[in-house]
């Protein structure tokens, strides 16, 4: 357990302080994902604690609850009388090719369309399976990617370590920091209760990792404005990840929307983005342009497969990285299963999200940028080995907070937060919201 935490502390430049983890047990997995959950959340908490010491002279203590950390790595929201839509498109999933397994990620309509351009229109999983069975897995992975879609063949960890992309990303640091323009010293407007009050976060992230990061920042008092393109939606995760945020839409191909975006960026303290490595460049918002518009901007970015190597611009998601990097294959052997066995939660997304939040907080006051990737977080998890096989005590009603969150879909509870920082409660002023439900402007 301490290995994961000390690795993360070293990557962030945080002191190697032990942090207590309460309760016992772990999610069932070939890997120590509950330990990863605790370590990543603890590091984000430690970054807050260090920030408070810098401004108040007092270092608050913290602790992380193993059960709650595990549950939050699945979902934190407990709807009352309604349910969150299923997270997966009906044909997304693992399929047997001629020579092994491949995963197709079809949640976004344009990604499903790309897969169907290669495989033909498929009404259901059976039709898709019949088509996939005619392909060699490597050929199909490449064909779907070339068509603009998302796919990953199942590899072992040994195969990934000798693959050009595996070699590239595994040579990268867990968090790659770069110095930026020194910011004009902005006076701290926070307090012990809300350390990030007065901090504006422009959130250009999707699905899980980036939104987990901005949700954490919002819980500490930051003003988070999420921007999505006009037609993007992710109904299976929006109630989970938009807690505490305002959500607007802009079309960066439209001149007037670009002018709005420029003004938002100029006023932002932190920008988080999770598009492919070259996506903002192609829109005319590369690193140099972002720094020109917003000198001193803290710029924290994430991608799936890392920032060097042949796949640095490849589309990817947690489930695909698990297939590529050997996690799903190791799970299959661990479970003696006859098909790929992913982690029971999207742990790469959640952990990388907390690492992004910790990174942004450590950069406050000194500026600069940082890059993280799901595939590099996967290496951290894999190399740490297995965790305990002691089961977690089952969730019960005492794990839920008493407050009712009035969401657009209906009332809900949230689970108690796994991180306790003395004097600094994680709390969110806004309920979860639909994408595009707010105006694109700072409060």
Span 22-48, pLDDT tens digits:
999 999 999 999 999 999 999 999 999
Please report the pLDDT score of residue 279 as a whole number. Answer: 87
Please report the pLDDT score of residue 179 as a whole number. Answer: 86
Length of the chain equals 443
d(CA 417, CA 40): 14
Answer yes or no: is pLDDT of 181 > 80.
no
Mean pLDDT of the region 117-141: 96
Using pLDDT thresholds of 50, 70 and 90, give the confidence band for residue 123.
confident
Report which of 341, 300, 203, 338 is spatially closest to residue 261, judged by C-alpha positions: 203
Please report the pLDDT score of residue 182 as a whole number. Answer: 67
d(CA 395, CA 240): 18
Say if residues 149 and 115 touch (Cβ distance below 8 Å): yes
CB atoms closer than 10 angstroms to residue 427: 16
Q: β-pairing, 100-105 with 200-204?
A: unpaired
CB atoms closer than 10 angstroms to residue 294: 22
Residue 336 class from Cβ within 10 Å (0-12 exposed, 13-18 middle, 19+ buried)?
A: exposed
Q: β-pairing, 100-105 with 93-97?
A: antiparallel
Q: Give the 3-state secondary structure percentages of the chain, helix then strand then coil, rounded to 5.
A: 40, 15, 45
Which residue is associated with the tokens 């306790």? Answer: 420
Please report the pLDDT score of residue 186 as a whole number. Answer: 81
Give the mean pLDDT of the chain. 96
CA 255, 259, 264, 270 dihedral sign is positive
* Sequence-ordered list of residues with C-beta below 8 angstroms from that of 295, at least 6 positions apart, any chain: 181, 183, 184
Mean pLDDT of the region 117-130: 94
- Token digits for 47? 């970054």
* Sequence-ordered list of residues with C-beta below 8 angstroms from that of 93, at least 6 positions apart, any chain: 103, 104, 125
Answer yes or no: is pLDDT of 294 > 70.
yes
For the chain, the straight-line distance linking the first and the last C-alpha, in angstroms and rounded, comes to: 41
Please report the pLDDT score of residue 183 as a whole number. Answer: 63
Q: What is the pTM of this model?
A: 0.97
Please report the pLDDT score of residue 5 as a whole number. Answer: 97
pLDDT tens readout for residues 327-347: 999 999 999 999 999 999 999
Please report the pLDDT score of residue 185 as a whole number. Answer: 66
CA 231, 215, 34, 69 dihedral sign is negative
Could you give the dihedral angle defined by the CA atoms of residues 159, 165, 167 and 170, in that order, rounded to the nearest 10 degrees?
Answer: -110
Answer yes or no: is pLDDT of 140 > 60.
yes
- Token digits for 231? 């037609």
Mean pLDDT of the region 164-170: 98
Which residue is associated with the tokens 């351009």? Answer: 117
Answer yes or no: is pLDDT of 209 > 90.
yes
Mean pLDDT of the region 293-309: 95
Say if residues 298 and 369 touch (Cβ distance below 8 Å): yes
Please report the pLDDT score of residue 373 as a whole number. Answer: 98
| Neighbouring C-alpha atoms within 13 Å toward the C-beta of 299 | 27
- Token digits for 106? 């079809």
- Token digits for 260? 């709005």
Say if residues 352 and 44 touch (Cβ distance below 8 Å): no
Please report the pLDDT score of residue 48 as a whole number. Answer: 98
Mean pLDDT of the region 305-315: 96
Q: Give bridge partners of residue 223 from the DSSP assignment.
A: 200
Say if residues 223 and 199 touch (Cβ distance below 8 Å): yes
| Neighbouring C-alpha atoms within 13 Å toward the C-beta of 342 | 20
Backbone angles phi, psi at 91, to 5 degrees: -105, 0
Backbone angles phi, psi at 177, to 5 degrees: -90, 145
Q: For 391, which DSSP code?
A: B
Work out the percent of the chain whose per-residue pLDDT is above 70: 98
Report which of 205, 209, 188, 206 is spatially closest to residue 197, judged by C-alpha positions: 188
Answer yes or no: is pLDDT of 1 > 60.
no
d(CA 291, CA 319): 33
Please report the pLDDT score of residue 367 as a whole number. Answer: 87
Mean pLDDT of the region 374-386: 97
Answer yes or no: is pLDDT of 251 > 70.
yes
pLDDT tens readout for residues 69-78: 999 999 999 9
Mean pLDDT of the region 157-168: 98
């Amino acid at each position: 357990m301490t290995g994961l935490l000390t690795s993360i502390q070293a990557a962030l430049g945080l002191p190697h302080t032990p942090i207590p983890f309460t309760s016992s047990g772990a999610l069932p997995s070939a890997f120590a994902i509950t330990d990863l959950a605790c370590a990543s959340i603890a590091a984000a908490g430690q970054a807050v604690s260090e920030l408070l010491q810098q401004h108040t002279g007092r270092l608050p203590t913290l602790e992380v609850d193993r059960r709650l950390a595990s549950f939050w790595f699945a979902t934190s929201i407990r709807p009352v009388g309604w349910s969150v839509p299923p997270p997966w498109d009906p044909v997304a999933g693992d399929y047997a090719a001629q020579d092994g397994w491949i995963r197709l990620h079809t949640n976004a309509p344009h990604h499903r369309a790309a897969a169907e351009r290669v495989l033909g229109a498929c009404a259901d999983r059976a039709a898709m399976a019949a088509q996939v069975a005619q392909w060699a897995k490597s050929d199909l992975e490449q064909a779907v990617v070339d068509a603009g879609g998302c796919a990953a063949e199942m590899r072992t960890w040994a195969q990934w370590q000798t693959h050009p992309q595996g070699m590239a990303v595994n040579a990268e640091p867990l968090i790659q920091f770069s110095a930026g323009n020194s910011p004009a010293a902005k006076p701290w407007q926070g307090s012990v209760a809300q350390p990030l009050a007065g901090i504006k976060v422009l959130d250009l992230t999707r699905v899980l990792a980036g939104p987990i990061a901005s949700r954490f920042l919002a819980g500490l008092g930051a003003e988070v404005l999420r921007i999505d393109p006009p037609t993007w939606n992710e109904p299976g995760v929006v109630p989970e990840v938009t807690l505490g945020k305002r959500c607007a839409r802009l079309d960066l191909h439209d001149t007037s929307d670009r002018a709005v975006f420029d003004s938002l960026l100029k006023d932002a303290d932190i920008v988080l983005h999770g598009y492919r490595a070259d996506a903002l460049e192609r829109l005319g918002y590369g690193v140099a342009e972002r720094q020109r518009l917003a000198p001193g901007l803290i710029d924290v970015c994430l991608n799936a497969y890392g920032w060097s190597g042949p796949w640095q611009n490849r589309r990817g998601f947690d489930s695909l990285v698990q297939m590529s990097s050997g996690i799903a294959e190791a799970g299959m052997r661990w479970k003696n299963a006859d098909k790929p066995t992913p982690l029971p939660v999207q742990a790469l997304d959640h952990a990388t999200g907390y690492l992004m939040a910790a990174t942004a907080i450590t950069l406050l006051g000194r500026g600069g940028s940082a890059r993280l990737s799901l595939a590099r977080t996967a290496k951290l998890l894999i190399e740490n080995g297995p965790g305990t096989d002691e089961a977690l005590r089952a969730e019960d009603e005492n794990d839920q907070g008493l407050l009712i969150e009035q969401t657009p879909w209906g009332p809900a509870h949230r689970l108690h937060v796994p991180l306790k920082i003395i004097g600094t409660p994680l709390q969110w002023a806004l309920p979860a919201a639909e994408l595009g439900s707010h105006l694109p402007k700072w409060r």
